[in-house]
Amino acid sequence: MNVLSQYAQHMLESYSNSPRGKYVSLFIVRRVESEAIFRTEGSGEPLNKEFVHAGGDASSPVIQRVVISKRKQTAVERRTGRELLRRLNLLFATKEGVCSLNANQPCEKCIDCMVYGYAAGGGGAQRSRVITDDAFSLHPAPLITDKKMFNAPFDNSSPWLPEKEGSDKGKRMTGLGADEYVRPEALFLDIETMRDLTPGELQYALGNVLRSSRYGAIASRIGKVRNSLVGIAFSDCELFSNLELTQHSYDLLRGGSADLDFPLSDTAAVQAVRESIQALRRRVMGQVTMLDADTTHALVAELSDLYANEDALRSGLRETTRGYGRGLPDNA
For every residue of 223-254, DSSP letters joined together read -BEEEEEEEEEEESS----HHHHHHHHHHHHH
Three-state DSSP at 94 gives strand
Which of these segments, 110-118, 164-172, 265-273, 305-313, binds Zn ion (CB under 5 A)? 110-118
Minimum Å gap between C-beta 101 and Zn ion is: 8
Residue 113 contacts Zn ion per CB under 5 A: yes
Residue 141 contacts Zn ion per CB under 5 A: no
Minimum Å gap between C-beta 318 and Zn ion is: 15
Which of these segments, 101-109, 176-184, 254-262, 276-284, binds Zn ion (CB under 5 A)? 101-109
For residue 162, cis peptide bond before it (omega within 30 degrees of 0)? no
CA distances from 142 to 52, 55, 178 (A): 14, 16, 16
Which of these segments, 72-80, 112-120, 240-248, 249-257, binds Zn ion (CB under 5 A)? 112-120
Residue 85 contacts Zn ion per CB under 5 A: no
Residue from 11, 32, 99, 152 touching Zn ion (CB under 5 A): that is 99
Q: Measured between alpha carbons, how far is 21 from 196 in angstroms, rounded to an integer?
A: 7
Minimum Å gap between C-beta 200 and Zn ion is: 16
Q: Are 48 and 67 in contact (CB under 8 A)?
A: yes
CA distances from 330 to 113, 258, 310 (A): 17, 62, 20
Report residue 264: phi and psi, to 5°: -95, 155
Which residue type does 116 have? Y
Nearer to Zn ion, 26 or 107 (CB): 107
Residue 115 contacts Zn ion per CB under 5 A: no
Nearer to Zn ion, 154 or 204 (CB): 204
Q: Are 91 and 85 in contact (CB under 8 A)?
A: yes
Angle among Cα 94, 205, 315 to the nearest 5 degrees reads 70
Minimum Å gap between C-beta 207 and Zn ion is: 17
Which of these segments, 49-57, 106-114, 237-245, 259-267, binds Zn ion (CB under 5 A)? 106-114
Which of these segments, 16-24, 98-106, 140-148, 152-160, binds Zn ion (CB under 5 A)? 98-106
Residue from 4, 37, 54, 107 touching Zn ion (CB under 5 A): that is 107
* Number of Cα atoms under 13 Å in the Cβ half of residue 133: 22
Which residue type does 88 have? L
Q: Measured between alpha carbons, how far is 297 from 303 in angstroms, rounded to an integer?
A: 10
Minimum Å gap between C-beta 41 and Zn ion is: 21
Residue 110 contacts Zn ion per CB under 5 A: yes
Which residue type does 121 have? G
Nearer to Zn ion, 123 or 170 (CB): 123
Site for Zn ion in 18-77 (CB under 5 A): none
Minimum Å gap between C-beta 83 and Zn ion is: 13
Q: List interacting residues with Zn ion (CB under 5 A).
A: 99, 107, 110, 113
